[in-house]
Amino acid sequence: MQGGGDLGRDRQMRRRAVRKTGRKATPHGTSMRRSPSLRADPLHEAALFVISPDGQLDEVRLQAAFALESFIDELAALGHKDPYEFRRGLLTKHPRHLAVLELAAQKAGWGKPLPKGRARGIAVHFAFESYNAQVAEVSVTDGKIRVHRIVSAVDCGRYVNPGIIAAQLEGGAIFGASAALYQELTFEKGRLQQTNFHTFPVMRMNECPEIETHIVESNAKSGGIGEPGVPCTAPAIANAVFAATGKRIRKLPMRMTEAV
């Protein structure tokens, strides 16, 4: 269905771009081209994360958000720009993206000093009719990534129960962090090697970061809240890893031995 306000304008803009160029336009001003040869790593070819022909995930669009927001961060670094301010400059015509981005950065204390060895990364994404931005605070010790804090801001339009929103976004962040840091599917002689949670791990309580949720008040049409908290987590963590180490993560799950 066609949404109102910014959502409707965003969709009209993207449809026009697809008709003209065959690409999907993003709010940053970049585009996503259809690629029949595109392949995901085994995790994202599994039934849990099924990638569609245009590079978007049928479910949480984790792969697209990771690629796009990592790329935007690399552009900021090449231009010697602050990643947050760089995104702000690109999103001036997209007020709902901008609102969640600014709220997440403000609540995370973007620009303020952190304990030695820690760094922040940021990402923003639109999925399931809702807008989400996250700031991740991480450290890297002996090649191991530890996520200490995630600050999440969401605009899901009109809502009823803020507690449910917080619960869904917290679970989404844990789900996204688990996929980003640990989860993969591998095959040997045609047989899947991962059989249960002991070989396909989900982040445990002692590994979970502190997670904060902040809601942008909006009278727009209600959007989804079950999965919009997932896509931003991986790029926010990866961008924080770059801020901490100067090395880029370009493959999931994240391994510092594969960083460049």
pLDDT digits (tens, 9 = 90+) for 156-169: 999 999 999 999 99
Give the pLDDT of residue 184: 86
Domain coverage including residue 142: 5-258
Instruction: Encode burial over 118-137: b for 16+ CB neighbours within 10 A, e otherwise.
Output: bbbbbbbbbbbbbbbbbbbb
Is the pTM here over 0.75, yes or no?
yes
pLDDT at 28 over 90: no
CATH code where residue 235 lies:
3.30.365.10
pLDDT at 239 over 60: yes
Written as six digits, the tokens of 239 are: 């961008």
Separation between Cα atoms, residue 247 and residue 229, nearest integer Å = 25
124 vs 252, more confident: 124
Give the pLDDT of residue 232: 95
| 15 sits in which H/E element | helix 5-21
| Domains identified in the chain, total number | 1
